[in-house]
């Protein structure tokens, strides 16, 4: 996917570019190509970007460590500030109807917008923080060994030292 020259978006009909993405994105391991519809609207001093997309990723369960497939979907939008220098805007530059928190990203006004990088970032943000193969996943099964059974010989020295100490009654 090639980058879009930002002044080209301003000259497009309705100041809008629509992009269809159907490819494997570098850095994001998916079982199928990422499919996304992306719409970029040039609003003068910022870009309004919106996308809907999906992919299937293989995740590892945090409880039982089994791998499972997960459908990853995005339906998101973001406003990207455009500036001459590519730096964050000052308070005077932002229009009164726009919240400062909405303008986190910044691009040079005569720079390029990279749709595949933006979709990659949104897909990474959509990955679940808590990865569970099932809500009722019991986790890794524990063995029936007793707590006193030392399966690791490195603990034997500590156990011998513990036997040498007199028992202390704290009552």
pLDDT, tens only, 11-30: 999 999 999 999 999 999 99
pTM: 0.72
Phi, psi (degrees; rounded to nearest 5) at 144: -85, 15
Identify whether the C-beta of residue 9 lies closer than 8 Å to the C-beta of residue 16: yes
| Nearest CA-CA partner of 48 in 81, 74, 86 | 81
Identify whether the C-beta of residue 48 lies closer than 8 Å to the C-beta of residue 79: yes
* pLDDT, position 112: 94
Burial class of residue 34, CB neighbours in 10 A (0-12, 13-18, 19+): buried
The ranges of the chain with pLDDT < 50 are 89, 91, 94, 96-97
Predicted confidence (pLDDT) per residue in 117-144, tens digit: 999 999 999 999 999 999 999 888 776 5
Contacts 24+ apart (CB under 8 A), 104-107: 104/78, 105/78, 105/80, 105/81, 106/80, 106/81, 106/82, 107/6, 107/47, 107/80, 107/81, 107/82, 107/83
* pLDDT, position 84: 79
Instruction: Considering only CA atoms, give the Rg of the chain.
Output: 27
| Nearest CA-CA partner of 39 in 77, 8, 70 | 77
- Measured distance CA(152)–CA(84) in Å, rounded: 63
């Amino acid at each position: 996917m090639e980058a879009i020259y930002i002044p080209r978006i301003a000259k497009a009909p309705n100041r809008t570019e629509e992009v269809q993405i159907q490819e494997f994105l570098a850095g994001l391991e998916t079982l199928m190509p990422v499919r996304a519809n992306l719409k970029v609207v040039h609003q003068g001093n910022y870009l309004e970007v919106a996308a809907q997309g999906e992919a299937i990723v293989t995740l590892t369960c945090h409880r039982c460590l089994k791998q499972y497939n997960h459908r990853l979907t995005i339906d998101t939008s973001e406003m990207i500030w455009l500036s001459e220098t590519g730096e964050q805007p000052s308070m005077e530059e932002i229009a009164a109807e726009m919240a400062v928190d909405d303008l986190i990203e910044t691009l040079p006004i005569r720079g390029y917008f990279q749709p595949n990088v933006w979709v990659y970032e949104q897909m990474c943000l959509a990955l679940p923080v808590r990865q569970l193969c099932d809500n009722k996943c019991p986790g890794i099964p524990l063995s029936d060994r007793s707590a006193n059974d030392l399966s690791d010989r490195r603990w034997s020295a500590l156990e011998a030292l513990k036997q040498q100490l007199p028992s202390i009654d704290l009552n």
